[in-house]
Structure 1
Amino acid sequence: MSAEGVMSSIEFQMSLLLFVALAGYLLASRINQSAVIGEILVGLIVGPSVLGLVTYTDFVSSIAHLGAIILLFVIGFEFNIREIFNIRYGFIAGFGVIIPWIGGYATALLFHFDTQGAFFVGTALTATSIAITANVLREINQLQSKAAKAIIGAAVIDDVLSLLALAITEDVVSGSFTIEGIVLVFVKAIGFMVLFGLLGVSVISTFLMKLDHSRIAEKFPEFVFITAMMIAFLYAMVADLVGLSGIVGAFLAGVSMESVGLRRSKDLKEGAEYLQIIFASIFFV
């Protein structure tokens, strides 16, 4: 194999990405920051912005996407389904969308953007990075705190509201704005969260515990874990289909399995955490 072939091989890219992730950990320990901060900083240095050692290929993009989904699946195990639909978090998320949207729009106009461009600038600022926030809270062992519950709960609702903001902006700019269209987007997003949340808590969690007592689980302790990961990716796919972020679907899957207790099978959260360590590191890089 030629040197160019080696450099472009999946094995080399995975090795390089994990080497960079390790460098991020070392940097984080030196500057006394979260590993996430170190990985992001090192990623900026080795990426196209500075050294150009790692490029954002389809392979890297796919691995990073897997990392985000697995990370939020793991985070979901720390939450109860009732905490996701807390009305107070809805108010927090509402302010977290409206203020950046209006502020971004006004600021863009101040810098002489046209009205359409200003609308999209405001919409872009409504998005949140739930994966980074969740991982930092997990690292400092604060996921069970009230503040963390509010932050993550509001961020999940924020994803729905940001989707609405994008739909409104697209319709206003294209001149096709209708109340019915916006209501449809909202109903699909909320309907997915309510329906799949209830389905997970009442059906899927029970199914996994029954599967744990089956002969196949007794013979193959990893069988239930593979089933759970399949469901997590299925939730992520459906979330994408209704216009939400796939990581919201994965998070909802984790929340749905929070109460699952297994006796014969490998622990779901522990298994997912091992996957998350590898793939989420690449995501942050």
Structure 2
Amino acid sequence: MTELAAAPVPTIPHHSLLVFLLQLSVLLFLALALGRLAARFKMPAIVGELLAGVIVGPSLLSHVWPDLADWLLPKDPGQQHLLDAVGQVGVILLVGITGMELKFDLVRRRRHTALRVSLAGLLVPLGLGVGVGFLLPASLMAGDTSPTVFALFLGVALCVSAIPVIAKTFMDMNLLHRDVGQLTLAAGVIDDIVGWFLLSIVSAMATAGLSTGTIAASLLHPVAVVVAAWLVGRPLVKWALRAAGRSSSSTPTVAVTTLIVLLGAAATQALRLEAVFGAFVCGVLIATSGELDREKLAPLRTAVLAFLAPVFFATAGLRMDLTALARPTVLAAACVVLAVAILGKFVGAYVGAAMSGLGRWEALAIGAGMNARGVIEVVVAMVGLQLGILGAETYTIIILVAIVTSLMAPPILRVAMARVDDNAESDMGMTGTKTRDLASPSPASPASV
């Protein structure tokens, strides 16, 4: 009996491929151009990259030239998924690189102070965010989202900080070597770790429901992932990087590093946790392996930061709908959420710094640095949108929080640091000039976004 050959899988239609290539080209061009323009005005590049998507998306182009908008961004799900796939690969690798850039020596040097600052800076905005989440109108929730999951997710979104934005801000202001800069980065490292952990828990709850069993699983699965990664993954990562590092070429190191991050993302995705959590854990494993030659990772950083990350942020901007702010309910909610985000982070960081014996201006400077949400907030918002926790309105609000808080950091830091006494700062217990190498991001590090 002759077996019939399976029908070949059809390739991407000619027109779909054309539209996809033009989408990438337009978004990348606008993201790079506006990102450079933002940097020229001393703003984070991510502001310009998000604006690229806003221009092409429903906030502007759909109103100014609807026919072109419908042709360039058709509503066909298959067409949208092509662009989303590129963005997802970009954010997974970006989060992995962020994990690789964390400086744990900073945490070891000031672990007690950094822990107090970080926990207060996390718990206060987390609690306020959860409270506001329960108070917001049900019309701002997506579909049949549980109010509890929505409130928890909003709390997580408001408690995160962004190491890339913090590092870039301090570096641009020549404050990275100061004790305040080092302490802020150390607290930010802890924030990042706890933030990704909380995001994975809430994401699992949103996917599996809120029964006692699923809540327990949501709490235990991330812990199990971290334990397994440390006990099993760490030796494998060390072996793989050592083998790749024997080559004088950077190609094996880049390939192995990329593979580790992608496999880690696939593992947590399979466990119904977020793929970015696995990418972050693998990035940390790579950073702590002792086998990483950072110079050989330069090609990967360049590819991610020059191409994949700008495309991801542009696609994130595509999903913003600023016209929604014309509705009084949405505008009022945006003002409340933004105020709570700013107040919560400043109060939390200030309390933690004050508990550590720091002066008010040092505390204000730390609060300003940790208030910057930047890239991390955008990733969190995209996760919420993909899981159906956030609607278009709440997604837009959270992206606005990321933009506004990142723009606020430099001017407040200038005011606070101008009043910090160098002699008083030296009493904080760490010689800042000796720690410059621990925190200085490489030229192509995520700090550039």
* TM-score in same-fold range (> 0.5): yes
1:32 alignment partner, one of 15, 18, 42: 42
1:126 alignment partner, one of 142, 155, 165: 155
How far is 1:222 from its partner? 1.1
> 1: distance between equivalents of 2:149 and 2:53?
27
**Quick check: 1:228–1:268 contact (8 Å CA) kept in 2?**
no
Partner of 1:270: 298
Relative distance call for 1:9 and 1:284 in structure 2 (3 A) is same
SS in 2 for 1:244: coil
Letter aligned with residue 304 of structure 2: Q
1:209 alignment partner, one of 242, 245, 248: 242
Relative distance call for 1:91 and 1:125 in structure 2 (3 A) is same
> 1: distance between equivalents of 2:16 and 2:206?
46
**Quick check: 2:159–2:195 contact (8 Å CA) kept in 1?**
no
**Quick check: 1:68–1:283 contact (8 Å CA) kept in 2?**
yes
TM-score, normalization by structure 2: 0.51
How far is 1:269 from its partner? 2.8
Letter aligned with residue 70 of structure 1: L
CA RMSD of aligned residues (A): 3.9
SS in 2 for 1:125: helix
2:84 is the counterpart of 1:69: no
Relative distance call for 1:36 and 1:248 in structure 2 (3 A) is same
Q: What per-residue deviation string (whole Å, max 9, x for no partner) do you get for residues 243-271 of structure 1? A: 332222222222212254467xx944312
Structure-to-structure mapping, 1:159-178, within 5 angstroms? 159-165=196-202, 177-178=211-212
**Quick check: 1:123–1:162 contact (8 Å CA) kept in 2?**
no
Choose 1 or 2 for highest CA Rg. Answer: 2
Relative distance call for 1:27 and 1:168 in structure 2 (3 A) is same
Partner of 1:240: 269
**Quick check: 1:74–1:269 contact (8 Å CA) kept in 2?**
no
Letter aligned with residue 276 of structure 2: I
Relative distance call for 1:164 and 1:237 in structure 2 (3 A) is same
Structure-to-structure mapping, 1:113-262, within 5 angstroms? 118-128=147-157, 133-140=162-169, 141=171, 145-165=182-202, 177-178=211-212, 180-213=213-246, 217=247, 221-259=250-288, 260-261=290-291
Partner of 2:131: 102
2:76 is the counterpart of 1:47: no
**Quick check: 1:64–1:283 contact (8 Å CA) kept in 2?**
yes
Unaligned runs of 5+ in 2: 1-13, 63-68, 74-78, 315-449
Q: What per-residue deviation string (whole Å, max 9, x for no partner) do you get for residues 183-207 of structure 1? A: 2221111111232144444331243
How many pairs align? 270
How far is 1:48 from its partner? 2.2
**Quick check: 1:96–1:126 contact (8 Å CA) kept in 2?**
yes
**Quick check: 2:102–2:189 contact (8 Å CA) kept in 1?**
no
Letter aligned with residue 228 of structure 2: L
**Quick check: 1:106–1:118 contact (8 Å CA) kept in 2?**
no
Q: What per-residue deviation string (whole Å, max 9, x for no partner) do you get for residues 137-163 of structure 1? A: 343346983323323432432333344
Letter aligned with residue 275 of structure 1: A
Letter aligned with residue 146 of structure 1: L
> 2: distance between equivalents of 1:224 and 1:27?
33
Q: What per-residue deviation string (whole Å, max 9, x for no partner) do you get for residues 104-146 of structure 1? A: 103448x9xxx98643441331343899934323433469833
Identity %: 20
> 1: distance between equivalents of 2:160 and 2:17?
30
How far is 1:44 from its partner? 0.8
**Quick check: 1:233–1:250 contact (8 Å CA) kept in 2?**
yes
Letter aligned with residue 277 of structure 2: V
